[in-house]
Structure 1
Amino acid sequence: MSESGSEALARFSINQMTVKQLSLPELTSECVKLGIPGVGLWREPVQSYGLERTAKLMRDAGLTVTTLCRGGFLTAIDPHARVRAIDDNKAAIDEAAALGTDTLVLVSGGLPPGSKDLQGARSRIAEALAELAPYAASRGIRLAIEPLHPMFASDRCVVSTLAQALDLAERFPSSEVGVCVDTYHVWWDDQAPAQIARAGRGGRLHAFQLADWITPLPEGVLNGRGQLGEGSIDLRSWRALVEEAGYGGPIEVELFNEALWSGDGRELLSATAQNYVRHA
């Protein structure tokens, strides 16, 4: 990529899930080759490769780990399940610290089996955060609550809007709990711009992710995120919103898409970097 292209990638981060067909060494090598400075990692492939090996791989390549995905799933009612969730999130916090990132993204969790109590689920998230936030702070990690599109409220995330995420986050110091703004999940919400400004005033914009919205959604809907510039979202306007609110951190592209995963990962990484420059 040209020098001007490299400069345009100065804040770009590739979320590992976007190119999950690449191994960690392959991803690292390609990022260095393309001048991509940051990577958002996922716990499962990191654990498979080895936590310390991954941390060394990133350090040796000069890559910044922008986020770790994911913690959360904090809505269980059963006491034993709640203890397991807290323990797993503390482990995720420890992993984030070992990898050198300062941000753990939280997907809060859906409704427990048999429950229809959204408010109860959200209250249990707050209870869990009361235990996790101080632990995260002691390890130098910020928790970033990511609201997910309402279509995921039943099974993945009862936090559907930035307003709901901030209502939870603002119970704690901004250095401990903030939000992750993902265009795929919030672009539809006419209140989101005001909530981004609210998050900025409070110092709670901890992560920013890009993906486009394309239709029709695939069966199961989870893996329907579009390549940048191919869908309905005005990505530049969302970048402007977070920057006007004071965000100057990494801009992470996170795509879940079976068609993209079926192709060559190196070509996908290069195309994603080019589309970031062109559309974001």
Structure 2
Amino acid sequence: MTDFKRLSLNQITTDLWNLREALDGCARAGIPQIAIWRHKVAEGGLAEAKRLVRDAGIRVSSLCRGGMFPAATASERQARLDDNRRAVEEAAELGTDTLVLVCGPAPDRDIATARRWVAEGIEQLLPFAKSRGVKLAIEPLHPMYAAERSVVVTLDQANTMAEAYATDEVGVIVDVFHVWWDPELYKQIQRASGRILGFHVSDWIVPTPHMLMGRGMMGDGVIEIRRIREAVEAAGYAGPIEVEIFNQAIWDRPGDDVLAQIKARYMEHV
């Protein structure tokens, strides 16, 4: 990259910072955007989060996360739908039009039914999201997360779900950590043209130190990040590029140092 106009700090990358600290860090580092996590909003409440964002002058690129639709009983599924409506409200209040959906695992061994519940959850949530000007962004996760976090594990699956709706209603997230391995990746990115609502970067470390907490800083692993970035741009995406890293060693470092490294690696590898 040649500048930082599209750079966004996904808040999980500096997880020890609260929302105020993350916004202040972005301002000091000249990072113009932030992707906010709901548990960070809950710490001080939505009204306070909205005030902090407004005062910081930092754009919110997305809110993470909605989804988690499958559940064992109808009442549990309704409760999750209600929570997704609250997530939509939070996104709208914070000034972003993108709610990232981590769709959820099966509550038992019936993965096909769980996928149907995901599709039904999106269908039920969409009218409310449209009424608040919020788009639903389906994020396929790496297949190793199927049992714990999402039964949507390929960009092909996410595209198929999104294509049931208009391009300005439901789209997909391309997270390099989750999709880099897919032999159909570039075909599916092209297929997603006009529907890509977010692009997330990190790296896949070898050997992989931990299933959840093993993401690396860009350039420390094996992912062809720049090639994937160029592909999503060829598919029409020109939006924020979020740096999203789950890694305890990175979390434990001073946040300002992490942001400085993010900027350097962003220029070199993204």
State the TM-score, normalized to the length of structure 1.
Answer: 0.94
Q: Please name the residue that 1:217 is paired with.
A: 208
Does residue 155 in structure 1 map to residue 148 in structure 2? yes
Secondary structure of residue in 1 paired with 2:183: coil
Query: What stretches of structure 2 of length at least 5 have no aligned partner?
Result: none
Q: How far apart, CA to CA, are the structure 2 residues paired with 1:48 and 1:24?
A: 9
Q: Please name the residue that 2:49 is paired with.
A: 54
Secondary structure of residue in 2 paired with 1:130: helix
Amino acid of the structure 2 residue aligned with 1:270: A
1:32-73 deviations in Å (ceiling 9; x for gaps): 122110000000011102212211211222111000000000
Q: Please name the residue that 1:192 is paired with.
A: 185
Aligned residues: 270
Query: What stretches of structure 1 of length at least 5 have no aligned partner?
Result: none
Does residue 247 in structure 1 map to residue 242 in structure 2? no
Does residue 86 in structure 1 map to residue 81 in structure 2? yes
Amino acid of the structure 1 residue aligned with 2:197: H
Q: How far apart, CA to CA, are the structure 2 residues paired with 1:20 and 1:26?
A: 10
Q: How far apart, CA to CA, are the structure 2 residues paired with 1:129 and 1:77?
A: 17
Secondary structure of residue in 2 paired with 1:105: strand
1:182-205 deviations in Å (ceiling 9; x for gaps): 0000000010111111111xx211
CA shift at 1:215, angstroms?
2.4
Q: How far apart, CA to CA, are the structure 1 residues paired with 2:72 and 2:155?
A: 24
Q: Please name the residue that 1:105 is paired with.
A: 100
Q: How far apart, CA to CA, are the structure 1 residues paired with 2:21 and 2:79?
A: 33
Q: How far apart, CA to CA, are the structure 2 residues paired with 1:30 and 1:258?
A: 19
Q: How far apart, CA to CA, are the structure 1 residues paired with 2:219 and 2:119?
A: 36
Q: How far apart, CA to CA, are the structure 1 residues paired with 2:28 and 2:149?
A: 36
The correspondence for 1:272, drawn from 255, 262, 265, is 262
Is the Cα–Cα contact under 8 Å of residues 179 and 206 in structure 1 kept in the other structure? yes
Is the Cα–Cα contact under 8 Å of residues 207 and 250 in structure 1 kept in the other structure? yes
State the TM-score, normalized to the length of structure 2.
Answer: 0.97
Does residue 68 in structure 1 map to residue 63 in structure 2? yes
Amino acid of the structure 2 residue aligned with 1:185: H
CA shift at 1:217, angstroms?
2.4
Q: Please name the residue that 1:177 is paired with.
A: 170
The correspondence for 1:259, drawn from 237, 246, 249, is 249
Identity of aligned residues (%): 47
Is the Cα–Cα contact under 8 Å of residues 29 and 256 in structure 2 kept in the other structure? no
Secondary structure of residue in 2 paired with 1:8: coil
Is the Cα–Cα contact under 8 Å of residues 212 and 229 in structure 1 kept in the other structure? yes
CA shift at 1:248, angstroms?
0.4
Secondary structure of residue in 1 paired with 2:5: coil
CA shift at 1:262, angstroms?
1.4
The correspondence for 2:32, drawn from 18, 33, 37, is 37
Secondary structure of residue in 1 paired with 2:148: coil
Does residue 135 in structure 1 map to residue 125 in structure 2? no
Amino acid of the structure 2 residue aligned with 1:30: G
